[in-house]
Amino acid sequence: MTAKAVSATLGATSRSDGASSALAKEEAAFFEAQVEAAIAPYRATLPERDLGWMRERLLESLRRDPNLLAVARAACPRTADESGELYREPGDTTSMDAAKRR
């Protein structure tokens, strides 16, 4: 199963920031790797059909349970912004000097 297939299986999902969008490529790849790691111990003993069923059940659980999806997303590694810019919330009028003193 590819990251694209994982994303298609889970479809549009609610994000913790309130935006509703399809899974990011990084998240789908991470979930794919975690699902494959979960079924790896059964590869030697189960037929591919059963492994496929296990994959589907794991992904279906993520799709149906928003709490489980939130936990899985929290575990997903993020790429860090290395620009050196200071992030500010929209509407934040704090000067740079005040931000440095925090």
Q: Which has the closest alpha carbon to 1: 68, 55, 40? A: 55
Q: How far apart are the first and last CA of the chain?
A: 47
Q: Any idea where the domains of the chain sit in the sequence?
A: 3-75
Name the token pair of 49: 């059909």
pLDDT tens column, 37-89: 999 999 999 999 999 999 999 989 988 999 988 888 888 877 666 666 666 67
pTM above 0.75, yes or no: no
